[in-house]
C-alpha cells in the first residue's frame, strides 16, 4: 500500500491509498510479467487490490501508464549521453562511459527499461518511444565510428553492427538479471563491459604473434 506523502514527509490530505507512482510501479511489474498487451486493466486492478475504475482516477488511460513508464526509462538512458564521461575525451573512452552508464541505468531502472526493450510499436505512445530509442542507438553508433577512426576499436566490422551487438549484449541483462542474485550490480557492470570491450577492441592476438616472431 503506497501511502502518499507530501514532499516534506508529512501526511497529505485526502484518502489514504495508492498514489500515481505506486500504481505505476505495480503496472510496470504486471506489464513485464504478462506483456503490455496481455495485461488487462482488470488484471492490473486485481494486483492493486482495487477496482478497475479506481485506476482511472490516477491515470487517464492504459496508454498514459505506459507512456510514463517508458519516459522514465528513456530519460535515464538519454541522460547517460549527456554525462561528462560521455561528452569529453577520446571516443573509445566516451564509448566505454556510455556502455557502463547504460548498464547502470538498466540495473537501477530494471523494470521500466525492461518494459522499454519489449515495446512493439502498436500505438502512438510506443512508436514515439521507439523513435527515441533509435536516436539513442544512432548516437552510440556515431561514437563507435569515431572510436574506429581513432584506431582504438576494431574496424573490421561495420559500426552500426558493432553498436547493435554491444547493446544486444547489454540489453540482454533485462531478461535474466535479478537484483539480489549472484551478481551484484557493480560486478555485473564490470563483467559486461569486460566482455563487450574485449570483443570490440582491436584484436591483440596478432600483436602477440608478432612479438613472438
Partner DNA sequence: GGCATTACTAACCGATCGTTCAGTTAGTAT
Partner DNA sequence: ATACTAACTGAACGATCGGTTAGTAATGCC
* Residues β-bridged to residue 11: 5
Taking the complex as a whole, the smallest distance from the CB of residue 3 to DNA amounts, in Å, to 9
Taking CB under 8 A as the binding criterion, the range among 20-28, 61-69, 87-95, 160-168 that sits at the site for its own copies is 160-168
How far from 57 is each of 66, 73, 150, CA to CA, in Å?
16, 24, 54
In the set 161, 179, 184, 186, which binds its own copies (CB under 8 A)? 161
User: Is residue 40 close enough to count as binding DNA by CB under 7 A?
Assistant: yes
User: Is residue 25 close enough to count as binding DNA by CB under 7 A?
Assistant: no
Distance CA 167, CA 201 (A): 15
| Shorter beta-carbon distance to its own copies: residue 38 or 135 | 38
User: Is residue 141 close enough to count as binding DNA by CB under 7 A?
Assistant: no
How far from 163 is each of 27, 42, 166, 169, 210, CA to CA, in Å?
31, 40, 5, 10, 29
- The answer to whether residues 83 and 97 touch, using CB atoms and an 8 Å cutoff, is yes
- The answer to whether residues 3 and 15 touch, using CB atoms and an 8 Å cutoff, is no
DSSP labels for 112-123? HHHHHHT----S
User: Is residue 158 close enough to count as binding its own copies by CB under 8 A?
Assistant: yes
User: Is residue 131 close enough to count as binding its own copies by CB under 8 A?
Assistant: no
Name residues contacting its own copies, limited to 21-50 (CB under 8 A). 33-35, 37-38
Which residues bind to DNA, rule: CB under 7 A? Answer: 4, 10-20, 23, 39-43, 50-54, 56-58, 60-63
Amino acid at each position: 500500500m503506497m501511502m502518499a506523502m507530501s514532499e516534506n514527509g508529512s501526511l497529505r490530505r485526502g484518502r489514504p491509498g495508492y498514489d500515481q507512482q505506486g500504481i505505476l510501479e505495480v503496472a510496470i511489474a504486471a506489464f513485464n510479467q504478462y506483456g503490455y498487451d496481455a495485461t488487462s486493466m482488470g488484471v492490473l486492478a486485481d494486483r492493486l487490490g482495487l477496482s478497475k475504475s479506481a485506476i482511472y482516477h490516477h491515470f487517464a488511460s492504459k496508454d498514459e501508464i505506459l507512456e510514463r513508464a517508458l519516459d522514465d526509462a528513456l530519460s535515464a538512458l538519454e541522460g547517460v549521453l549527456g554525462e561528462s564521461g560521455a561528452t569529453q575525451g577520446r571516443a573509445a573512452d566516451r564509448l566505454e562511459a556510455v556502455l557502463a552508464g547504460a548498464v547502470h541505468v538498466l540495473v537501477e531502472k530494471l523494470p521500466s527499461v525492461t518494459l522499454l526493450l519489449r515495446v512493439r510499436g502498436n500505438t502512438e505512445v510506443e512508436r514515439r518511444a521507439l523513435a527515441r530509442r533509435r536516436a539513442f542507438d544512432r548516437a552510440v553508433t556515431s561514437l563507435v565510428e569515431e572510436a574506429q577512426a581513432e584506431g582504438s576499436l576494431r574496424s573490421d566490422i561495420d559500426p552500426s553492427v558493432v553498436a547493435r551487438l554491444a547493446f544486444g549484449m547489454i540489453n540482454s541483462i533485462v531478461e535474466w538479471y535479478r537484483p539480489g542474485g549472484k551478481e551484484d550490480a557493480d560486478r555485473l557492470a564490470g563483467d559486461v563491459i569486460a566482455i563487450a570491450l574485449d570483443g570490440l577492441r582491436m584484436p591483440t592476438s596478432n600483436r602477440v604473434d608478432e612479438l613472438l616472431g
